[in-house]
Structure 1
Amino acid sequence: MLGRLFRRDSPRVDVPSPDGCFLINTPEALLASHAHIIAAIRGMAGVPDSHWNTLYHPLIDGLARFVQQLPASEAHHHAAPGGLLRHALEVALEAMKLRRGALLPPGASAEELARLQDVWSYACITAALLHDIGKPLADQRITLFGPEQASIGLWSPIDGPMPLQARYYRVEFVAKRRYRRHERLSPLLAGHIVPAQGLHWLASEPEVMDTWLAALQGEYEAAGPLGAIVAKADGLSVARDLSGGGKVQLPTARTRPLSERLITALRYLLAQDELPLNRRGAAGFLVNEDLWLVSKRVLDALKEHLAREGQTGVPSRNDRLMDELQQHGLLIPNQDHAIWTCEVRIGDWTQRLTLLRMEASAIWSNPERRPAPLDGAVIPVDVAPGDVMDTDTTVEAAGGGCPPVSTDANRVTLDSRHEHAEHAEPIGAQDYTDLPLPYDIEAPEAGTKTPAPAPSTADLPHAGEASARNTPQDDEDEDAGRRFVAWLKDNIASGRVEINTVNARLHVLPQGLALISPGIFRDFDSVRWDKAQKRFQKMKLHLKRPDGTNIWTCRVAKDRKQSRIKVMLIPEPESALGVKLPSPNPAVSLLTEDGTEAPNESKKQVGNGQAV
């Protein structure tokens, strides 16, 4: 059934002219291949012909006239010509299916539900059709051409559909797009697509109009059930496209290869800066024609991204993913392994990592679109064959079999990391012009699930990058709090974690070790961090505040700059964790209940704090 609804019928209109231009077409020609899905939408709308012809038919025609054969994305979902129109219609159909099981508005009487049924359905279908309508304005650059293919300038979507004097158009993508900016622009363009009668109808019910505007702008939480419907319908359409389902293919064709889905997801995550590059703690490093990627961090991010999109058939083991990429020639092998053990140097920062290596052209076919290369070096390290690991782990910090690497005076080797951790430069000794606002300045009390701002690119290694025995996904029956403590101790002892620096999650205070919360727990396990935090609290290693809560406030101050961070405090950390720590950070001070600085004494109680 779904295959029939989402197939493309001939004749196709998405073939560009030889010079890469597309013909500006009529709505009838553009919608011909979508007749089945439009018929299904009409059946679910269940309105009389007069209503359909006045409100729905002009809406769908207006959408086709406006978006023509524009793609929905550059290299993600519905990236083919005509993808934006097809995606909008698919989301509308899925939204109408979901609408049948929703009572809108929530809590209304039976009489009110019946009276408003049709206007809420209209709000649902229009919000679904227009949810990406801002992309031509925010993300794309469309050049118009006359009948002789002479350029007549750029199309401005704010002015309405492509003008009559134009005959062809060419699509380019804005190089540095602002993430989700297109959602904010949708209401500016809605009037060019939704018929006037439809806008008047929506505006006649203030609650409907407010909810509709929120959904158009991607504020799905504010849009309530309507936002949830559009968001879920959008996800279903995206997952179907990226999984290869619902497309017209030859009988011998198979669904979209996993390798293609992985590389598409990688391009997307890099473009959105979800996998930052060329900085301390980054997920990847661009050097000449090679892109080096932190192996487990990137593979885990790819799995999480594909899972969020509802894609199936994605292996849970990272070695399977690496095999898939290698088999399709997307990785540059290290002899017969996928993993390269390398030393990454950026200024005075040096870190040994296990990396994947691929050609930069696999991600950026146009060299002009590539980011600036790394201001540093990635140096492969020779290791004994038995010590090369190409599964889910990096080289062990202690006894990993890797010989020390000769570098400059700032080198960091396996034998020197403990010394590096002991002498890490405190914030107060650095140039404070680079001090960022703390990650968790509005952090909730421990155990809550309120999302926190994304961490800096100088993140700690993820739990799986520390060692195989510390991977959060392993040993599910083991207590998450104990695994967190073991991971924390291992990272401190090996020097893989920054302490007392601008980007650090850990700061040594006279009263103990401050753990920025929930950031440190997110670094340990980005998915189940809240469980790890709750189990850690039950271990009673931390010091509670006088009011019995778990989160302390610290002031970060240097010269004229100040900010605050939320932390959990481990008193007497060297004995509690069995590690050696550097001296207290003079730039960070623990605050008492009245906002004053706590006494600089190392003891289990701060003010009337409860030693637990």
Structure 2
Amino acid sequence: MNAGFYAKLKWLRKPAPPPESDNRQAEVENKPGWFYPQRAEALLATPLRQRLMKIIWQRTSMPSSLFNELYDVPIARFAELVQQLPASEYHHHAYPGGLLDHSLEVMAFAAKLRQRHLLPTGAAPEDQAREAEAWTAGVLYAALLHDLGKIVADIEMTTDDNEPWYPWTGPPEKPYRLKYRRPRDYQLHPVAGAFLVARVLPDAALNWLAQFPALYAAFLYCISGHSDRAGVMGVLVQEADRASVAQFMGARADSVLDNPQPSLAKQMLTALCELVLTRYKLNNPHSGSDGWLTEDALWLISKTTADNVRAWLLQQGVTGVPDNNLRLFDEMQAHGLIIPTPEGKAIWSCDIKADGGWTPGSPLTLLQLSPSRIWRDVENRPAAFAGQVTVVSVLGGATDKDDIDVAMQVSEVQPVPESDPLAELAFSLFAPAKAVNPVYEAECVTGAACLPPMADAMKTEVPAQSTTTEITSPTSEHSPRSAVGEDFFRWLREGLQARSIAVNDAKSPVHRVDGRTFLMSPGIFKLYVQSTSGKTGEEWRQVQRGFQKLGNHYRGDDGINIFTCEVKGPRKTRQVKGYLLDNHDELFSETVPEDNPYLSVMDSDNDISS
């Protein structure tokens, strides 16, 4: 690298530290929902962020001194600007500090993807060599900034003296709390991010990028929301973003990077089109309609549509699908697939009345879509509903208890323990760089409680189980209860043989241990229900009951059904519960996977057989 190039990078300045903390800090630390401003050194000192910084440095393949000049300053400025803000309200990285974690992850993934391309595309080799470092910086800067606009468009921050904080004034200097705007315009994200770029990138960095017209144009398009015009840079940032989200949701990031797929928004739109055009009954003058098409809107039953969209996405192998209706609606709304209420909510409460006088008798919770989303040509639309769809009132967006439980303010969410991301790295043989694994707890199929230690100590009461729920399976519209177990086992076998159900993978509910196949409970049964019906309620209990009645699982000498496995990570050990299966020849068509070295079977639990 020549001296002239290096001289252009002499813009290193230490970020101005916020005022020294006063005696209010102790009060804020003990006050739920409030945060105290921190310096970049403290914000970036967590094990996860230090590891991500190291990965970014290794993938840029440059001396540490040059890396400090190119990236340390922008990252420090970004950290002090976003502080402890989350990356989303309900979806991915929705915890204090999530935006910083997510942005560093996207930088790390973008650096990996950048290595696969010679940029600028089609340029002479000598030009590519001359501009290589600048294009790398442009891609990584765009990755760092891709969600910055959320702190303007989505979030309102208030200081402890009841004054609003605005990001363009610089890092917050007083204790603050936050809330999400209602309503909010998701299209403002990239616009607002471009507005704040000078708060993160030093002038000299922007001056440097501006020396390369093609790079500069791609960078400006990318940070202002025109990824379709940003060329390779736009694709790299989008793929890196998708990998970070998928990894947070439990998928393998490396497979996401190696197998690009359409965005989740496009997949959801495809699912909606598939449902409306081929499966749904519209404008039924009597009961049994899935939706109603008026002159200016398409109204779909909210929970039915959410369940069906989720099932379709999972059946197509789409990763990162929200397992909660509220989060799924939030994702649809974020990409403009559904029309929000005036208050910014996803759910509309409407009365339906057909010309013949039929009415469902009570308001229905509906999603509103633009008909042009489904039918591009007006001539292809069905006839409009011969009746009325009347908005009655606006709901908060939650349609069942599961949704209500997660509809909490971000200020109520406790920070993720610092040790969690790294402690789970060794969970599987193929764990991604950051794996956040759920805690699976076995549930009894007889009505007795298989309680975790804390719940057992507190004598937590377990609600009675429903015995009337039906499951929609891949093989029958309404399986009788006696066949649910067989349908589940068939789905499990086909999924393992087609490798659509991962084994020994991070967040997978299927592992190999002690020469047997271990099915985490209730995770594997919940996955079955979501994949076949899209439902997220208690339907999995009937599936578990049906599976246990088959008797295909291994039973201990004393009749034990549920076994406990110990998961040993580098710094943390925990327990998971589930079933053991011996019949691996029937489950796996070819090579049987090796045992997961991080799992071991512990002493069996108390007998819970039915």
Q: TM-score, normalised by structure 2?
A: 0.43
Point out the structure with max Rg over C-alpha.
1
